[in-house]
Chain A
Amino acid sequence: MPEAYDPNQVAKDAIAPTGAGGAMDLAMSEAETLEKTPGGPGGTGPQEKARSLWTDAWQQLRRNPVFIISSLLIVFLVLIAIWPSLIASGDPNACQLSQANKGSGPGHPFGTDQQGCDVYTRTVYGARASIAVGICATLGVAILGSLMGGLAGFFGGWWDGLLSRLADVFFAIPVVLGGLVFLSVVVSDTIWPVVGFMVLLGWPQISRIARGSVITAKQNDYVQAARALGASNSRMLLRHVAPNAVAPVIVVATIALGTYIALEATLSFLGVGLRPPTVSWGIDISNASQVIRNYPSQLLWPAGALSITVLAFIMLGDAVRDALDPKLR
């Protein structure tokens, strides 16, 4: 590839004139020569490679222990969500009433619940529903929200007024009350009604963030520069505005993912979220809460798993924000 970047070559070229600097006289043309070899100032060493802001952010993330811990946790959770049989051999819905409410023992490391189902297996299988809902809802919210917010922010005026008021309307709906009403009408065995409901109520949050950061990015001189060159709207939006506006959306979406998982559990707990035979931490927490006085450990496992998952995503969001927020550099 003829375009390959060779840092060593650059280093050689760059160092040579600096070394010969002693022979320089008052000649003004030397100013030009030296500017070509920015050794030092502004951290622009001659041996430095091309570093995009994304590379910088990744370099920083990699060294952040919070990121390492949370991402390891998330990788683990995603793996068992896809292949729960990796660590749990049983069937979560294979229950024997005769074995109900047992403490931990052989075959049942976390004990059994009121229905005689294995708590360990159910906790492991519960990850699938929670993570699937969380990821699908976040994706939906992020796509719809940034589309709406981006258009409102970029075109402004009439568009902005309409889309922002629409967002306000959805923002005003109380989540739990809305969920009770909306989800009690739609009856389905799948996760999609829950995901759909979350997207419907969640997009205004991302839309506001996206609108704000698009407006900030739009005002930068480089967007004006592109316009002065005669660039089209789509070019300005996709090439100049979007890449510079996407960081806050990523941060908020990552943190929101955790809260959607918690919301799914809340709705399932209230009986309007996921329904059996789907295995969900919310359902298990709901069931266990009825016997909390006698068998608190039945509540502990699904609730603990839920907390750890939510925490992992929020920690990841925090770490990503630290890396992407240029003000902290």
Chain B
Amino acid sequence: MPELTKEIADAHPTPTAEPILEVRGLVKHFPLTQGILFKKQIGAVKAVDGVDFDLGAGETLGIVGESGCGKSTVAKLLVNLEQPTAGEIRYKGEDITKLSARALKAVRRNIQMVFQDPYTSLNPRMTVGDIIGEPYEIHPEVAPKGSRRQKVQELLDVVGLNPEYINRYPHQFSGGQRQRIGIARGLALRPEIIVADEPVSALDVSVQAQVVNLLEKLQDEFGLSYVFIAHDLSIVRHISDRVGVMYLGRIVEIGSDRQIYEHPTHPYTQALLSAVPVPDPDARLHRERIILSGDVPSPANPPSGCRFRTRCWKAQERCELEVPELAVPAVFRLEGGPAAHPSACHFAEEKQVVPETDET
């Protein structure tokens, strides 16, 4: 096993059981083609370019990053909506990227997805009962035909909707309620893992909290493991046990929520955290903000070496030549403590950007 794996395992707050999901060297390149009938590849968008992480049973792994960092592609790869270009996704030790269609169908029951947009993720021509019941039609072995209606009503009740609404159509519901329907569909097959791609970002502020609470309640009730993908760092901290920060197709820093938010060592994480508006006007004065210059480079043509170097205030020649590995930086390796977690930076150092609070 490469050293990397050991160190990622080290980053676990509680290295208990074997991880339920292991991702190793995951790569997804979308070819850029030219021509109408006979297509010629002229390049590739490197959406995901070497991602490793583990997900423990019952754990929530948050993945944050800006648009175009590849976090949504990771979600699609995990639920097999896209085929990876390279790498492995091991579910309970078994690589699901190389399974036959039949074996894949069985695995799919255990990894389900909740989508971002509650307005496009439900088929407008189907009733709520048909939408939530569809998983049973695709996997008839899970529930015999006679029991399905009752199961659907139970699911509606579990996600906090009136079971009598089973015959209604999605457009008769508000955004928050639709997202509950989407969650109920994701739960129908009693999966072990739920991949949630920005599940609350399309909702109103006052409704977001309801859905976040629901997700947490369901985790306790059904012992789910979540991969929670979002751009909102506050929500990710709230819900996650561990957090991975992505930039241009790579994870640049990963660790427990406290390690990432209170002891970030990668400059990108620090900039990202310092840019988050904090709902406290008094913080205006004594908060240091790192304003990054420029925009995220195109994933079709990422910078050499460290991908963040074009926007980084610490960048030196080494960053241009040498790709930093995602590993515990040598400076922190011996001293341990919360700063000792994997961070892909040659010049990693601690910098506190989020005010530490007394409450822990």
Any A–B CB pair closer than 8 Å: yes
Q: Can you offer 14 A-B residue contacts whose CB atoms are under 8 A?
A: A9-B164, A14-B162, A14-B164, A35-B177, A35-B180, A37-B162, A41-B174, A42-B173, A44-B177, A225-B121, A225-B182, A226-B134, A229-B135, A229-B189
A300 to B104, CA, bound (A): 69
Are the CB atoms of B160 and A36 closer together than 8 Å? yes
List of 6 A-B pairs having minimum Cβ-Cβ separation, nearest first: A221-B121, A42-B174, A50-B167, A32-B160, A243-B125, A230-B105
Shortest B11–chain A CB gap in Å is 29
Q: How many B residues touch A, CB cutoff 8 Å?
A: 50
Contact at B161–A230, with CB atoms within 8 Å? Answer: no
Within the complex, the shortest CB–CB distance from B172 to chain A, in Å, comes to 5
- A227 close to B (CB within 8 Å): yes
- Could you say which residues of chain B place their CB within 8 Å of the CB of A28? 213
User: A58 at interface (Cβ–Cβ under 8 A)?
Assistant: no
Partner of A222, one of B109, B120, B180: B120
Report which of B122, B134, B174, B182 forms a contact with A229, defined as CB distance below 8 A.
Answer: B134
* A48 CB within 8 Å of chain B: yes
Kindly list chain B residues whose C-beta atoms are within 8 Å of the C-beta of A26. Answer: none
Q: State how many angstroms separate the Cβ of A56 from the closest Cβ of chain B.
A: 8
Q: Mark B120-138, 1 if CB is under 8 A from A, else 0.
A: 1111111100010011001
Residues of A contacting B126 with CB < 8 Å? Answer: 239
B112 lies within 8 A of chain A by Cβ: yes
Q: Is the CB of A228 within 8 A of B112?
A: yes
Interface residues of B in 207-225 (CB under 8 A from A): 210, 213-214
Contact (Cβ within 8 A) B37 A165: yes
Q: Cβ of B309: which chain A residues have Cβ within 8 Å of it?
A: none
A313 nearest CB across to chain B (Å):
26
Q: How far is the CA of A140 from the CA of B266 in the complex (A)?
A: 64
Contacts of B117 in A (CB 8 A): 221
A155 CA / B79 CA spacing, docked (Å): 21
Q: Is B36 in the interface zone, CB < 8 Å from A? A: yes
Closest to A220 in B: B120
Most buried by A among B121, B139, B167: B167
Do A50 and B115 touch (CB < 8 A)?
Answer: no
Mask, B159-194, CB within 8 Å of A = 1, is 011101101110111101100101001000100000
B258 within 8 A of A: no
Q: Which B residues form the contact surface with A (CB < 8 A)?
A: 36-37, 76, 79-81, 104-105, 108-109, 112-113, 115-117, 120-127, 131, 134-135, 138-139, 149, 160-162, 164-165, 167-169, 171-174, 176-177, 180, 182, 185, 189, 210, 213-214
Contact: B36 with A161, CB < 8 Å?
A: yes
Closest CB in chain B relative to A3 CB, distance in Å: 7
Min CB distance B222 to A, Å, is: 16
Separation in Å of the A213 CB from the closest CB of chain B? 13
Instruction: Decide: A230 and B108 in contact? CB cutoff 8 A.
Output: yes
Q: How far is the CA of A85 from the CA of B206 in the complex (A)?
A: 68
Residue of B nearest to A55 (CB): B169
Interchain nearest-CB distance for A248 vs B (Å): 14
Cα A235 to Cα B112 in complex, Å, equals 18
Q: Determine if A228 and B80 form an interchain contact, defined as CB atoms under 8 angstroms apart.
A: yes
Contact with B along A134-165 (1 / 0, CB 8 A): 00000000000000000000000010011001
